[in-house]
């Protein structure tokens, strides 16, 4: 058997294999209203796209950075799980410790990823605010889809999101989400 010579390559490959676990990790908060609509990986994908678009709308100069921040923002959940608001009330999670452990063997790029992760978690920079709003708004999209499918309890998710939004774009997009049928995009194609 060949020996792996490059420790960075080994660490990067291990991280990618670990992050694949996010495809299996359910978003637990939705289970409170008897739904299981997405995995953490699916949530991250849509949130990253949303972050890219919000950063453009907010006039942020580096939308690629926002998308990258979001791609890594839930990586710790391979180790901690996706604890919802009720679980967090009773469990102490070391999300920061999990993120640091995941990245410790990646050198300078690991430090850069950790810094981006911290910006989202701490919401202390413009980029962090945009990224966190995108992550939160992604949940509003999911809630709206559930509402249209008949789950009235999902409206409480939208109401709980409103005060957490930090950007003007986030607040305005939430109102549009709340008024839009999730099927409009394909119905409009059929009308042409």
Count of the separate structural domains present in the chain:
1
Per-residue model confidence (pLDDT) at position 86:
81
Domain assignment present for residue 30? The answer is yes
C-alpha to C-alpha distance for 116 and 135, rounded to whole angstroms? 14
DSSP SS3 for 95: helix
Domain assignment present for residue 65? The answer is yes
Instruction: Output the pTM of the full model.
Output: 0.90
Domain assignment present for residue 80? The answer is yes
Domain assignment present for residue 61? The answer is yes
What residues form DSSP beta bridges with 26? 39
Per-residue model confidence (pLDDT) at position 32:
80
Scan for tokens 């042409």, then name that residue: 192
Per-residue model confidence (pLDDT) at position 92:
85
pLDDT 10s digits, 152-183: 999 988 999 999 999 999 999 999 999 999 99
Report how far apart, in Å, the C-alpha atoms of 27 and of each of 7, 22, 67, 95, 136 are: 33, 10, 20, 16, 13
C-alpha to C-alpha distance for 110 and 117, rounded to whole angstroms? 10
Domain assignment present for residue 89? The answer is yes
**Contact in structure between 67 and 48 (CB atoms under 8 Å):** yes
Scan for tokens 């990245």, then name that residue: 103
Close Cβ partners of 124 (under 8 Å, ≥ 6 residues apart):
none
Token digits of residue 94? 């070391």
pLDDT 10s digits, 68-114: 999 999 999 999 988 888 888 888 889 999 999 999 999 999 999 99
Q: Which domain holds residue 136?
A: 7-191
Domain assignment present for residue 79? The answer is yes
Domain assignment present for residue 2? The answer is no
Domain assignment present for residue 1? The answer is no
Per-residue model confidence (pLDDT) at position 74:
96
CATH of the domain at 76: 1.10.3210.10
Can you state the angle between helices 168-179 and 40-57, rounded to 10 degrees? 120
């Amino acid at each position: 058997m060949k020996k792996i010579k490059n420790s960075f390559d080994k660490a990067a490959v291990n991280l990618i294999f670990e992050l694949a676990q996010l495809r299996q990790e359910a978003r637990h908060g939705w289970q409170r209203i008897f739904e299981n609509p997405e995995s953490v990986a699916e949530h991250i994908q849509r949130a990253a796209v949303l972050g890219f678009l919000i950063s453009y709308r907010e006039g942020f100069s580096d939308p690629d950075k926002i998308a990258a921040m979001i791609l890594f923002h839930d990586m710790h959940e391979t180790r901690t799980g996706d604890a919802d608001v009720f679980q967090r009330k009773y469990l102490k999670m070391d999300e920061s410790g999990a993120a640091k452990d995941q990245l410790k063997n990646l050198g300078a790029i690991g430090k850069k990823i950790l810094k981006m992760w911290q910006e989202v978690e701490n919401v202390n920079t413009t980029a962090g605010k945009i990224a966190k709003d995108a992550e939160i708004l992604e949940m509003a999209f999911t809630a709206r889809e559930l509402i249209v499918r008949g789950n009235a309890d999902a409206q409480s998710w939208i109401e709980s999101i409103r005060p957490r939004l930090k950007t003007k774009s986030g607040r305005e997009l939430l109102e549009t989400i709340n008024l839009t049928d999730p099927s409009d995009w394909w119905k409009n194609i059929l009308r042409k």
